[in-house]
Amino acid sequence: MSLNKDFSYADDGKHDEQSIEELFVIYKPSIYQFVYRYCQDEQLSIDIVQDTFIRFHKYHETFDESKSSVKTFLFRMAYQIMINRLKRRSRFKKLLPFLDHQNDQHELPLEDKLTIQSAIQQLPDDQRAVILLTYYHDQTQKEISKILEIPIGTVKSRLHTSLKKLKVILEVKE
């Protein structure tokens, strides 16, 4: 997929024509460093940089050169994506620490992984889909709503119900 559409962005106020590929080459290192220094997670940092440029491609029309530089716009996007991911990860760890697949300290024993997989398999199909898309594929509720073709309120209620069921199945104390 080639993104050869030209954009008129420059930090110094000059009107340079730069493609998304050029912007990626220019700003990827500094955005990655910022995100990595903030969250200390290499894979998450890589994912956030990639998602930032995907979002930029999708919403580049909202960029107003008179309000900020493209660098500022990209950093703002990266920061928002990072904060949302970290909040989601934090909620996940608090609700079901057993399911935290991002555990950096040590790998879960095979027995625990099987217990978790078994618990998730016990959920009804519709609830299982929401859990997997949310916590294993890092989709937003809005994205899940589109994927499953259900209202966002239904996504929220299925997520809430499935987390309660998993707590009971795994006997997780709050």
- Residue 8's DSSP bridge partners are 17
Query: Are residues 118 and 112 in contact, defined by beta-carbon separation less than 8 angstroms?
Result: no
**Percentage of the chain lying above the pLDDT 70 cut:** 79
Three-state secondary-structure class, residue 149:
coil
pLDDT at 9: 43
Output the CA–CA distances (angstroms, integers) from residue 117 to 17, 114, 125, in the order listed.
50, 5, 14
| pLDDT tens, residue by residue, 42-56 | 999 999 999 999 999
* Model pTM score: 0.53
Stretch 6-24: mean pLDDT? 59
Say whether pLDDT at 122 is over 70. yes
Q: What value does the mean pLDDT take over residues 125-138?
A: 84
Using CA of residue 39, residue 44, residue 46, residue 51, what is the dihedral sign?
negative
Residue 54's closest CA among 74, 26, 34? 74
Do 170 and 159 contact (CB within 8 A), yes or no? no
Q: Which structure tokens are listed for 57?
A: 């491609």
- To the nearest 10 degrees (0 to 180), the angle between helices 152-170 and 141-148 is 100
29's CB contacts (< 8 A; 6+ apart) are none
Quick one: pLDDT at residue 123? Answer: 93
Q: Which band of pLDDT confidence, cut at 50, 70 and 90, is reported for residue 134?
A: confident
pLDDT for res 1: 32
